[in-house]
Amino acid sequence: MKGHIQRRGKNSWRLKFDAGRDEKTGKRKTQFHTFRGSKREAQIKLAELVTAVDQSKYVEPNKVTVAEFVRARVDQWEASGNISARTAERYRELVENQIVPHIGAKLLQKLRTLDIEGWHTTLRAAGRADKKGGLAPRTIGHAHRVLGKALRDAVKNELVTKNVVADESAPKVDDDEMVIVKDIPAFIELLRNHRLFVPAMVSLFTGLRIGELLALREGRVDLDGKVIQVREALEETKAHGIRFKAPKTKAGRRDVTLPDILVDTLREFRKTQLEIRLRLGTGKIPDDALLFADIDGSPPSQKRYSKAWSDFADQIGMPDLGFHNLRHTHASQLIDAGVDIVTISKRLGHSKPDITLRIYAHLFRKDDGKAAAAINAALNR
């Protein structure tokens, strides 16, 4: 028996068809499908279902919702080590704030491309968790990628036949959305007397991520050799608190050379720290001491650093300048100076030069000659 149609109502049909053998028992499986429409349309639908079975493309119906599936995938990605605890925490924020409230209750198998289009529209108009406006395209893009990643798993595990997120592009992020510091000397003067002056200077002139910065130890900062060794990163999550981990990628384990302005800044900082320790009677700074430890020597809180930086950015009239934008500013300095893309990529700890090109493509587009040189360097690395 391949298939059979039975009328249930005026325009309702019961489709019965052979769905192959059960992998566990080896017995033949019979599936039923309710269809509404004309008899001709029901026949076409039955033919589609039988063909899907023959081509091993048939997916058995289930009642799993988008929310249930995406939450489970994030848990699995973290448990398997595919993403870090910090990334998992960020994914869960996107799931709970941007995905679940809008399309979470929808059955995974009923999700369609039009639903994704409508979801984007809703997020742009009223997607903020506090219900006070819409989200920036970049944030919508982050949520879009998390959902798309989950649906790729759904296709791979034969829970759905296609990834509908792949058919709908995320909103375009404008080039000018990446905030960078334009007047660096003036910015340094604004920053000079702030308590985050030294860590901000390190990020501004090395491009270190904040987690890499806060994990720096005294023994990894060679001021005579003018180099910082990046070997670990600090991670802070609700689930695990503050802990250390390997850099974000294998390429994140790197040595970063220091410009003279940063060497001078760090020498003065180290001198001040030594004077404080002498007054306290704690002696020389050990090599394993954290460069930016809390007053009791414990690892610093990344969240407190980010909050303090946000307050400072508000005070100087640059509320959109996040601490991570100092890293972007450093990259823009290197691009403006004509540094080749491979060197920039290694300095930033990117695993591949094409990642650097993708992130900073708009900065290269401002000077076509630099763009061509960057592509040549990437191809000839």
261-303 tens-digit pLDDT: 999 999 999 999 888 888 877 778 899 999 999 878 899 999 9
Give a yes or no: residue 368 inside a domain. no
* pTM for the structure as a whole: 0.68
* Strand 221-222, strand 227-230: pairing: antiparallel
Structural tokens at position 289? 């001491």
Structural domains of the chain, count: 3
164 and 109 share one domain: yes
pLDDT at 376: 61
Among 113, 140, 173, the domain boundary falls at 173
26-49 tens-digit pLDDT: 788 777 778 888 888 888 888 877
Among 117, 139, 173, the domain boundary falls at 173
Give a yes or no: residue 363 inside a domain. no
Among 337, 354, 373, the domain boundary falls at 337
Q: How far is CA 296 from CA 281, 289, 292, 299, 300, in A?
A: 14, 11, 11, 9, 10
304 and 329 share one domain: yes
SS3 percent helix, strand, coil of the chain, rounded to 5, is 55, 15, 35
**CA 115 to chain centroid:** 23
* Strand 28-36, strand 221-222: pairing: unpaired
101-116 tens-digit pLDDT: 999 999 998 899 999 9
Give a yes or no: residue 226 inside a domain. yes
pLDDT at 301: 93
pLDDT at 170: 87
* R_g over Cα of the chain: 27
Q: What is the mean pLDDT of the chain?
A: 87
Question: Amino acid identity, residue 134?
Answer: G
278 and 210 share one domain: yes
Domain ranges, residue 96: 66-173
At 127, which CATH number?
1.10.150.130
Q: Which of 272, 291, 268 is nearest to 217 (CA)?
A: 291
Q: Is residue 63 scored above 90 in pLDDT?
A: no
pLDDT at 178: 79
Q: Where are the alpha helices (DSSP H) in the chain?
A: 39-54, 66-79, 85-94, 100-103, 113-126, 137-156, 184-191, 197-206, 210-214, 260-280, 302-315, 324-336, 341-348, 353-359, 361-365, 368-379
pLDDT at 177: 62
282 and 201 share one domain: yes
Give a yes or no: residue 374 inside a domain. no
Interior angle at CA 366, CA 361 and CA 369, nearest 5: 90
202 and 320 share one domain: yes
142 and 79 share one domain: yes
Are the CB atoms for 64 and 33 separated by under 8 Å? no
pLDDT at 312: 93
pLDDT at 130: 78
Give a yes or no: residue 21 inside a domain. yes
221 and 138 share one domain: no
151 and 215 share one domain: no
166 and 252 share one domain: no
Give a yes or no: residue 308 inside a domain. yes
- Considering Cα of 162, then 163, then 166, then 168, what sign does the dihedral take? positive
Angstrom distance (rounded) from CA 85 to CA 98: 19
Q: Quick one: which H or E segment has residue 17?
A: strand 12-21
Burial class of residue 226 (count of CB atoms within 10 Å of its CB; 0-12, 13-18, 19+): middle
189 and 329 share one domain: yes
At 330, which CATH number?
1.10.443.10
Give a yes or no: residue 376 inside a domain. no
189 and 97 share one domain: no
More reliable by pLDDT, 177 or 121 = 121
Q: Quick one: which H or E segment has residue 64?
A: none
Ranking 7-11, 149-153, 347-351, 365-369 by mean pLDDT, the lowest is 365-369
pLDDT at 367: 56
**How is 143-173 classified by DSSP, letter by letter?**
HHHHHHHHHHHHHHTTSSSS-GGGGSPPPPP
190-227 tens-digit pLDDT: 999 899 999 999 999 999 999 999 999 999 999 999 99
Question: Long-range contacts for 40-47 (Cβ within 8 Å, ≥24 apart)?
Answer: 42/5, 42/13, 42/15, 43/5, 45/15, 46/3, 46/5, 46/15, 46/17, 47/3
Give a yes or no: residue 15 inside a domain. yes
At 55, the pLDDT band (50, 70, 90 cuts) reads low
202 and 159 share one domain: no
Angstrom distance (rounded) from CA 52 to CA 49: 5
Q: Which residues pair with 65 in a beta bridge?
A: 107
- Considering Cα of 360, then 363, then 368, then 372, what sign does the dihedral take? negative
Q: Is residue 379 scored above 80 in pLDDT?
A: no
